Amino acid sequence: MIVILWNKLAANCVINPLTSLFCCTNGELLLEPSFLEMQENILMEVANVAADEMRKFVTQCILDTRDNKSSMYQDIMKGQHTEIKHLNGYVVRKGKEMGICCPHNEDLYQRILELQNQSSSSSSLSS
């Protein structure tokens, strides 16, 4: 839900003021190179603010759950499959589709897959 709100905010931050200032339709924003540059600059600022909000949110989650063991950690301890493909793996796949290198997510993804495989092998041997 938060992503939808940030996407809507980003669209409105670009479209509404630019069409108002330049007396143009929404579609005309895609035709003028200077409009495209402005859009990119606006979106970078929105993304930076969103990133800062995400950092605060993650920090608060860590503080609120400081004594918990994450579900992934518990899955690894039980020799079960994790949700890594749907988390960091998703980021890696989307990054590749978009031409964005995600080395940290790729590293975590590969390392957790290895750990998951080792854990699954160990638990099946002890069964």
User: Per residue of the chain (127 residues), what is the pLDDT tens digit?
Assistant: 678 899 999 999 999 999 999 999 999 999 999 999 999 999 999 999 999 999 999 999 999 999 999 999 999 999 999 999 999 999 999 999 999 999 999 999 999 999 998 977 766 555 5
- Whether 30 and 46 share a structural domain: yes
Among 8, 56, 69, 96, the active-site one is 8
What pTM was computed for the model? Answer: 0.77
What pLDDT score does 126 carry? 57
The owner of tokens 């699954």 is: 120
What pLDDT score does 2 carry? 76
- Whether 13 and 62 share a structural domain: yes
- Whether 4 and 58 share a structural domain: yes
Of 45, 67, 89, which residue sits at a domain end?
67
- Whether 50 and 73 share a structural domain: no
Cβ atoms of 80 and 117 closer than 8 Å: no
Segments forming the whole domain that contains residue 14: 1-67
Burial class (CB in 10 A: 0-12, 13-18, 19+), 91: middle
Question: Tokens in use for 103?
Answer: 């080395």
> Known catalytic residue: 56?
no
